[in-house]
Amino acid sequence: MVPEEKGSITLSKEAAIIFAIAKFKPFKNRIKNNPQKTNPFLKLHENKKS
């Protein structure tokens, strides 16, 4: 038996940005705290520029 979906929540653009920042903050902090690791976001940004 497949459980029924109760519904979804639609966020405004501002709320979605706040949610995303809060959700991925630990990942961002880990990158800042460990400078030996390469930042995948910087690589993506560089690739989009060229």
Tally of CB atoms within 10 A around 25? 10
Q: With respect to residue 30, please indicate whether it lies within any of the assigned structural domains.
A: yes
Instruction: Find the domain containing 38 and state its range.
Output: 13-45
CA angle 43/29/44 to nearest 5° reads: 10
| Residue 32 confidence (pLDDT) | 61
Give CA separation, 17 vs 2, 9, 22, 34, 49, in Å: 32, 15, 9, 25, 23
pTM of the complete model beyond 0.75: no
Q: With respect to residue 19, please indicate whether it lies within any of the assigned structural domains.
A: yes
Output phi, psi for 12, to 5 deg: -70, 165
Q: With respect to residue 36, please indicate whether it lies within any of the assigned structural domains.
A: yes
**Count of structural domains within the chain:** 1
| Residue 18 confidence (pLDDT) | 76
From first to last of its 50 residues, the chain has per-residue pLDDT tens of: 556 656 677 778 888 777 776 666 666 566 566 666 666 677 776 766 65
